[in-house]
């Protein structure tokens, strides 16, 4: 119970700091420091945990590596966005999308939905420049654009095999990948439906003159779209094909982009100065610290034991336990690894599994991860789009309600 209260207090401190207009990065670091004080986690304990990571994990899984790689990714995405603006590519993107897909709303959601198939930490920043440039020309608010980019980016996680949580869940419950994916498929379907209802049907101004798609050939629209999308595709391809860090791929894309568009060398300095944002580095530091502190104090394990011993109805427990751990950690795989073994007795395994309850548990996981301010992608979105974190979370309530509703319906009809 004590650990649960400490986590909620630290999240409350984060909310208060943001309401006081403290910058997001600084607020995240201060909230993490508060959590460490509340859980009595000393610097020595943190150092011991980090040293343990260094010996037991692969380099790309360590906190230090993530701090460097994610900070570089976030700052370089700003540079890419600046380069696209300087060359006029971003101004052609929205007309191209309209010409290709006809529906502005569909085109705006499709960008993060496509990039969401790339399971990389901070990968949300790959689609952010395109969504921001296209959405601002449509007249959408920054908070709505951040919510659209964040929400549609994360719709594949319950079903896409490249996400490690899928393999873990399949192995734990002793079922085939086809069975898991076919039942979990209702969650991204509900998420897309909820995202459309809550984020795209309303709050989108009518077309203005500047936004009207010119009567041009399909090939011209495709060319304009490719000019804006190829740097992102290249970074994704280098990550998937060669396992290069996304930050490296983005840097190569920026260099190639500037060369292809013949940007004079004397302008490169101004473009790269877009990376000079120290608060974004603090944002990533604070988000990673939060997770290390929780692990150092074994706080999540204590919270799980508290919930399982509380006598709550199994059906409620199956949903709220992944929900809370998802809120506390902001990570799919971590949440699944912590909570699903405890829920195994309720859900079953192999031929005895109740797939409706598995979907209910996964819906709680997804809802928690989509609503927490410690989810790195949500924090990155708030920072990049310069939108209040609370406004983004409020806009996520409708899509999350659809996902929760889908899990509940599956639990009722497939027990």
Q: What's the count of helices (H) and strands (E) in the chain, helices before strands?
A: 22, 0
CA distances from 92 to 84, 95, 104, 214 (A): 10, 6, 14, 11
pTM for this entry:
0.75
CA distances from 143 to 26, 44, 131, 157, 393 (A): 20, 39, 12, 23, 9
pLDDT at 210 over 60: no
Condensed to tens digits (0 to 9), the pLDDT of residues 217-263 reads: 778 888 887 887 788 788 878 876 787 887 888 899 999 999 999 99
CA distances from 190 to 196, 202, 331, 410 (A): 10, 18, 20, 12
Maximum mean pLDDT: which of 155-169, 192-206, 226-240, 397-411? 397-411
Asked if 3 and 302 touch (Cβ cutoff 8 Å), the reply is yes
How many angstroms separate the CA atoms of 110 and 302, rounded?
Answer: 40
pLDDT at 149 over 70: yes
Angle between helix 332-347 and helix 314-329 axes, rounded to 10 deg: 170
pLDDT at 215 over 80: no
Residue 209's pLDDT is what?
Answer: 56
Residue 104's pLDDT is what?
Answer: 76
Maximum mean pLDDT: which of 57-71, 179-193, 289-303? 179-193
pLDDT at 60 over 90: no
The alpha-carbon radius of gyration of the chain (Å, integer) is 22
Condensed to tens digits (0 to 9), the pLDDT of residues 94-108 reads: 677 767 776 778 888
Burial state string for 149-186 with b = 16 or more CB within 10 A and e = fewer than 16: bbbbbbbbbbbbeebebbeebbebbebeeeebbebbeb
Condensed to tens digits (0 to 9), the pLDDT of residues 12-56 reads: 888 788 778 888 789 889 989 999 999 999 999 999 999 998 888
The mean pLDDT of the chain is 85
The domain locations on the chain are 2-413
pLDDT, greater one: 343 or 97: 343
Residue 268's pLDDT is what?
Answer: 92
């Amino acid at each position: 119970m004590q650990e649960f209260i400490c986590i909620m207090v630290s999240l409350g401190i984060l909310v208060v700091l943001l309401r006081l207009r403290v910058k997001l990065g600084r607020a995240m670091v201060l909230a993490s420091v508060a959590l460490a004080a509340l859980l009595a986690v000393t610097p020595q304990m943190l150092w011991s945990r980090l040293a343990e990571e260094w010996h037991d994990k692969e380099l790309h899984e360590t906190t230090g590596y993530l701090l460097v790689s994610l900070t570089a990714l976030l700052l370089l995405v700003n540079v890419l966005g600046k380069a696209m603006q300087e060359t006029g590519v971003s101004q052609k993107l929205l007309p191209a999308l309209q010409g290709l897909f006809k529906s502005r709303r569909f085109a705006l959601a499709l960008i993060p939905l496509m990039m969401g198939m790339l399971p990389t930490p901070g990968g949300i920043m790959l689609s952010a420049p395109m969504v921001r440039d296209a959405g601002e020309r449509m007249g959408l608010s920054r908070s709505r654009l951040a919510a659209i980019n964040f929400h549609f980016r994360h719709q594949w996680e319950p079903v896409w095999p490249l996400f490690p949580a899928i393999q873990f869940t399949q192995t734990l419950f002793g079922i085939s990948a086809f069975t898991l994916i076919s039942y979990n498929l209702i969650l991204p379907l509900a998420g897309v439906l909820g995202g459309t209802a809550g984020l795209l049907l309303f709050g989108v101004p009518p077309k203005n003159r500047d936004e009207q798609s010119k009567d041009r050939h399909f090939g011209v629209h495709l060319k304009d779209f490719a000019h804006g999308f190829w740097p992102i595709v290249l970074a994704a391809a280098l990550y998937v094909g060669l396992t290069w860090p996304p930050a490296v791929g983005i840097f190569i894309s920026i260099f190639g982009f500037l060369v292809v568009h013949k940007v004079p060398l004397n302008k490169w300095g101004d473009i790269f100065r877009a990376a000079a944002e120290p608060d974004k580095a603090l944002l990533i530091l604070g988000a990673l610290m939060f997770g290390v502190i929780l692990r150092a104090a074994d706080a999540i394990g204590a919270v799980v034991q508290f919930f399982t011993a509380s006598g709550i109805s199994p059906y409620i427990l199956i949903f709220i336990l992944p929900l809370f751990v998802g809120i506390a950690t902001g990570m799919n795989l971590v949440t699944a690894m912590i909570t699903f073994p405890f829920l195994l007795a309720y859900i079953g395994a192999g031929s005895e599994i109740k797939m409706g309850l598995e979907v209910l548990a996964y819906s709680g996981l997804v809802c928690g991860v989509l609503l927490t301010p410690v989810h790195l992608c949500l924090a990155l979105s708030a920072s990049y789009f310069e939108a209040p974190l609370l406004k983004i979370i409020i806009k996520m309530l409708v899509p999350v309600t659809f996902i929760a509703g889908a899990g509940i319906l599956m639990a009722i009809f497939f027990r």
